[in-house]
Amino acid sequence: MSPQEGSSTRHNWTRDQVLALFNQPFNNLLFDAQVVHRQHFDPNQVQLSTLLSIKTGACPEDCKYCPQSARYDTGLEKEKLLELEQVIAAAKIAKASGSSRFCMGAAWRSPHDRDIPVVSAMIREVKALGLETCMTLGMLSEEQSEKLADAGLDYYNHNLDTSKEFYGEVITTRTFQDRLNTLANVRNSGMKVCAGGIVGMGEEQQDRAGLLMALANLPVHPESVPINMLVKVAGTPMADQADLDPFEFIRTIAVARLMMPKSYVRLSAGREDMNEQMQAMAFMAGANSIFYCDKLLTTPNPKANTDMQLFERLGIKPEEYQADKDSLQHEEDLHRAINEHKNDALFYSAS
- Annotated active-site residue 293? The verdict is no
What is the Cα 277 distance to its own chain's centre? 20
Q: Which is nearer to ligand SF4, 168 or 190 (CB)?
A: 168
Give the chain's end-to-end CA distance (angstroms, integer). Answer: 44
- Annotated active-site residue 109? The verdict is no
Q: Could you write out the DSSP letters of every residue in 245-282?
A: PHHHHHHHHHHHHHHSTTSEEEE-TTGGGS-HHHHHHH
Q: How many CA atoms lie within 13 A of 300 on its CB side?
A: 8
Task: Name the DSSP letter for residue 109.
Answer: S
Candidates 101, 179, 208, 266; catalytic one: 266
Candidates 103, 208, 271, 293; catalytic one: 103
Q: Could you write out the DSSP letters of every residue in 199-248?
A: E-SS--HHHHHHHHHHHHTSSS--SEEEEEEPP--TTSTTTTPPPPPHHH
- Please report how close the Cβ of residue 268 comes to ligand SF4 at its closest, in angstroms: 13
Candidates 59, 101, 208, 293; catalytic one: 59
**Segment (H or E) for 295:** strand 295-296
Task: Name the DSSP letter for residue 59.
Answer: B
Q: Which is nearer to ligand SF4, 68 or 185 (CB)?
A: 68
* Residue 241 backbone zone (phi > 0: left; psi -120 to 50: alpha; other: beta): beta
- Please report how close the Cβ of residue 66 comes to ligand SF4 at its closest, in angstroms: 3
Task: Name the DSSP letter for residue 161.
Answer: B
- Please report how close the Cβ of residue 150 comes to ligand SF4 at its closest, in angstroms: 24
- Please report how close the Cβ of residue 56 comes to ligand SF4 at its closest, in angstroms: 9
What amino acid occupies position 33? A
Candidates 101, 174, 187, 194; catalytic one: 194
- Annotated active-site residue 63? The verdict is yes
- Please report how close the Cβ of residue 227 comes to ligand SF4 at its closest, in angstroms: 16
Q: Which is nearer to ligand SF4, 63 or 122 (CB)?
A: 63
How far from 172 is each of 168, 260, 324, CA to CA, in Å?
A: 6, 28, 44
Q: Which is nearer to ligand SF4, 32 or 203 (CB)?
A: 203
Q: Which is nearer to ligand SF4, 137 or 284 (CB)?
A: 137
Residues near ligand SF4, by CB under 6 A:
59, 61, 63, 66, 68-69, 107, 138
- Please report how close the Cβ of residue 105 comes to ligand SF4 at its closest, in angstroms: 8
Q: Which is nearer to ligand SF4, 32 or 61 (CB)?
A: 61
Cross-strand pairs, 69: 59
Residues annotated as catalytic are 59, 63, 66, 103, 134, 194, 266
